[in-house]
Amino acid sequence: MEFREDQPRWQQVAHVIRERIAAGTYRPGSRVPSENDLMQEFGIARMTAHKVMRALREEGTVYTVRGMGSFVSPPQDTEPTDG
């Protein structure tokens, strides 16, 4: 959960979410906190929360469905196409 003062807030929060996914707190396919949740938990504005999720989405960590939320992406390296 370590914050770095020298990083912008949206990167700090993104880091926290990444850590939780790595720790299994949020598992593949399950929903991660909504932008509204992030607003409340971290005391940030909605646009900042949106920026957090956008970053995680662009790096492939989560995928997003409008009206539903964002979900942890399935593992990328441990998924053989066949056998």
Contacts with DNA by CB under 7 A lie at 8-11, 34-37, 43-48, 50-51, 53-54, 57, 64-70
- Nearest approach in angstroms of CB 69 to DNA is 4
Whichever of 19 and 37 has its CB closer to DNA, that residue is 37
Count of alpha carbons within 13 angstroms of residue 26, beta-carbon side: 19
Whichever of 60 and 81 has its CB closer to DNA, that residue is 60
For every residue of 10-47, DSSP letters joined together read: HHHHHHHHHHHHHHTSS-TTSBPPPHHHHHHHHT--HH
Whichever of 68 and 82 has its CB closer to DNA, that residue is 68
